[in-house]
């Protein structure tokens, strides 16, 4: 069974495993790593697809229009479901602002949810990380990074290190005083010290970027 995240144990273990990360933990303070469990896996992945290659505000507008397609028809509150997305015309989906590629990705996501490739949340939680990644990356438009974000922020998996993520790499360069961003391979090598709590280490590396921005803009 997948591990349950114990934040207190994670922070203590990371402090002992890596003195440089320990200094970042001291600076950043209490870990705020939390999962959001209100969305189904289908809806969480649909949102990820909608947000690809867009700014947050533009993506939020488009995703809001997409969700609104499924309101006002006597079934308000159900929102988008795989069945209803498959029934929706390309014209309506494109009218919400979704690109042709994203429409195709959403249709593939819907089909793979219905055929069980993307199982319900209760079953998904019983699968190990790599099996989830393998299943999700079979979906058009879903890459490893998106699967890792779902593992971290939907399933609260404790040992995920998104080594291609710019923010994690940037945070590493700041915390470890590197002039260049680490390669994913180099980050994964250092990350061996952080097992089995690499998700928490990643959260602190993201915080390093935030803290660096504050120190550079005069706000402390």
Q: Does the annotation mark 165 as catalytic? A: yes
pLDDT of residue 2: 58
| pLDDT at residue 218 tops 50 | no
pLDDT band for position 36 (cuts 50, 70, 90): confident
Residue ranges covered by each domain of the chain: 7-34+160-216, 41-153
Rounded average pLDDT over 17-40: 92
- Pick the catalytic residue: 129, 165, 210, 217? 165
pLDDT in tens, 125-151: 999 999 999 999 999 999 999 999 999
Q: Does residue 83 contact residue 75 with C-beta atoms inside 8 Å? A: no
Rounded average pLDDT over 38-44: 88
CATH number of 41-153: 1.10.340.30
pLDDT of residue 77: 52
Instruction: Write the DSSP assignment of 121-174 as a string of letters.
Output: HHHHTTS-HHHHHHHHTTSTT--HHHHHHHHHHTS--SS---TT-HHHHHHHHH
Q: Does residue 220 contact residue 214 with C-beta atoms inside 8 Å? A: yes
Distance CA 145, CA 140 (A): 14
CATH number of 7-34+160-216: 1.10.1670.40
| pLDDT at residue 220 tops 60 | no
Same fold, 7-34+160-216 and 41-153: no
């Amino acid at each position: 069974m997948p591990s349950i995240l114990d934040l207190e144990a994670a922070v203590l273990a990371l402090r002992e495993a890596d003195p440089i990360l320990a200094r970042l933990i001291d600076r950043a303070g209490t870990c705020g790593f939390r999962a959001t469990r209100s969305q189904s896996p289908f809806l969480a992945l649909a949102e990820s697809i909608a947000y690809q290659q867009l700014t947050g505000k533009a993506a939020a507008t488009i995703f809001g229009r997409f969700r609104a397609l499924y309101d006002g028809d006597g079934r308000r509150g159900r929102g988008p479901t795989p069945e209803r997305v498959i029934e929706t015309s390309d014209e309506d989906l494109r009218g919400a602002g979704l690109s042709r590629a994203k429409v195709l990705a959403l249709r593939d996501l819907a089909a793979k949810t219905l055929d069980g490739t993307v199982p319900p949340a209760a079953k998904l939680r019983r699968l190990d990380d790599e099996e989830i990644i393998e299943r999700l990356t079979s979906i058009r438009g879903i890459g490893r990074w998106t699967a890792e974000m779902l593992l971290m922020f939907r399933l609260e998996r404790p040992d995920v290190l998104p080594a291609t993520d710019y923010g994690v790499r940037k945070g590493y360069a700041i915390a470890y005083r590197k002039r260049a961003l680490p390669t994913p391979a180099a980050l994964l090598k250092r990350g061996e010290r952080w097992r089995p709590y690499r998700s928490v280490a990643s959260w602190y590396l993201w915080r390093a970027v935030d803290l660096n921005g504050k120190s550079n803009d005069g706000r402390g």
